[in-house]
Amino acid sequence: MSKAGVFRLRVPGEWRDAWLYKEHVLLWGRDGSLYMLDMERISKAVLAKHGPSRAGLLDYLILRNDWKASSAFRRIMSMPEVASAFFRDFRIEGNELDLTVSLEPIKIGHENTPGYLFDSAIYANRLYQATSEGLFESHFNPNHEIDEMPLMQFLEHETRCVSAQYMAVNASAEERGLWFAPIRLFDRDDYGYAEDEYWDVLGENEEGYPATPIRRSDNRMEQVADYSSACSSAARHLLNYTDAPIPGFLRAHDVRGRSHERAQFEEWMVTGYEQERSIQELTYKALDFRDPYGVRDDVVSDWDDGAEVLGNSNHRLLVKKGDVLEVVNVSAFENRDVAVKKNLDFGKVNLQDFGGSEILSTRDLASGFAIELFDSVSVVTASSVFRVYGEPAARIRTFRQSKRYKDVLAVVGERDLSLVGFIEFDDEAAF
């Protein structure tokens, strides 16, 4: 099992939520106000206070986390002298670096969202907020100053979870159901407002598309399942978490095209979903759960196996049975039925590796899963399990779908926000 170096950068303040988006940190104050910090300010502050070595670690492990995953980085880290220099500060501090920068964020002109904020998502310069009063959408563009950010209401009842990607927004409203709406973008000849319409001005988005003005999508949503406590994408498809131990699977109807006339590249766009179906039997079979009475070892019985999917990271599902965690893959390729198979990269993980604490929630990372416990946060990857945060967390955000922050956590604590990055290593000589 490999080890890991963990880098934490703390931003003092009493926050409710946080997102990393387009080289900016978006922060919610506890009164519902919105604030923004740009990454350049953070980088300069770390350089000035902690020096170039730790500023370099900040770049690779948090601000430009995509560099860490590049073949160029792996190649240069294969040189022992380079690896030794890179890990020098970790070696001195005992594998963990915990820094603090005191910066005053900029308050954004934003209409306060009604109700208590349960969840949020940012996609294509749209800010979605799931609250006790419904689902709301507003505009956010860090490259274009806007004094006011008008709210549009999508749902009028309590909404617990919101997810947005593949040109679609999905929302979970518990007994009110699971909801879906496409995000439609429209070109416009000039920037600004039009009568009875609100127009966004996009900079480069997370997928690297060029700047273009777009019109806000309408606020009509379609109910696609009767009950939903949370939802999450599995590639372009959707997983619906309910009171059942295994989430339901909704296969996506999608098309490949350009989101607007000026888009440089094509992308997948979800236009709807098939009826929700159960993947419980497939999941049990993938994990080799058998008939407990031994009558037939090739059939999964109706017996309650006690297995539960804790969460997913794209197509990977983290399954708990007793004190053991395992990972399976779920897929639905074109012209093929839904399939669930054991993930051979991830081995079995015992809950004792977390100290035996109860798992409160999970979040998705490119390399695995972030696990929230009562008093800490740990990360599970294919090669290791390690703690990244040693305090109770009020909110955890991860950004697997982003370009720059696929393996970064934003952890809201009692008195600050921690941006957390990590790097695994096998060569003990590096330390």
- pTM, two decimal places: 0.85
Q: Is residue 347 over pLDDT 80?
A: yes
The helix/strand/coil state of 72 is helix
pLDDT, mean of residues 11-22: 94
As a whole-number percent, the residues of the chain with pLDDT over 90 amount to 63
Give pLDDT tens digits for 95-120. Answer: 899 999 999 998 887 677 888 999 99
Average pLDDT over residues 250-276: 77
Confidence band, pLDDT 50/70/90 cuts, at residue 191: very low
DSSP conformational letter for 429 = G
Coil, strand or helix at 354: helix
Residue in 68, 19, 66 with CA at minimum distance from that of residue 403: 66
Q: How far apart are CA 174 and CA 178, in angstroms?
A: 7
Residue appearing with tokens 């990271």: 313
Q: What is the pLDDT of residue 130?
A: 96
pLDDT tens across 270-296, in order?
999 999 999 999 999 998 755 444 444
Mean local confidence (pLDDT), 198-205: 41
Place of tokens 């005053």: 104
**Res. 425 pLDDT band, cuts 50 70 90:** confident
Provide the pLDDT for residue 293. 47
Going by C-beta distance under 8 Å and a sequence separation of 6 or more, which residues neighbour residue 334? none
With a pLDDT cut of 70, the percent of the chain lying above it is 82
Segment 9-17 mean pLDDT: 95
Measured distance CA(339)–CA(330) in Å, rounded: 6
Candidate from 154-158, 287-291, 376-380, 427-431 with smallest mean pLDDT: 427-431
DSSP states along 360-391: EEEEE-SSEEEEEESS-EEEEESS-EEEEE-S
423: helix, coil or strand? strand
d(CA 389, CA 4): 13
Average pLDDT over residues 221-249: 96
Residue 289 to residues 156, 310, 326: CA-CA distances in angstroms? 42, 17, 12
Mean pLDDT of 177-189: 74
Average pLDDT estimate for 331-336:
85
Mean pLDDT of 323-339: 91
* pLDDT(215) > 90: no
Q: What DSSP string describes 151-172?
A: -EEEESS---EEEEETTEEEEE
Q: How many CB atoms lie within 10 A of CB 359?
A: 19
Q: For residue 124, is pLDDT > 50?
A: yes
pLDDT at residue 265 is higher than 80: no
pLDDT score for 427: 55
Q: For the residues 68-81, what does the mean pLDDT come to?
A: 91
Confidence class for position 326, pLDDT limits 50, 70, 90:
very high
Q: Is 294 helix (H, G, I), strand (E, B) or coil?
A: coil
| Least confident piece of the model among 178-187, 196-205, 410-419 | 196-205
Q: What is the pLDDT of residue 145?
A: 54
Q: Is the pLDDT of residue 322 over 90?
A: no
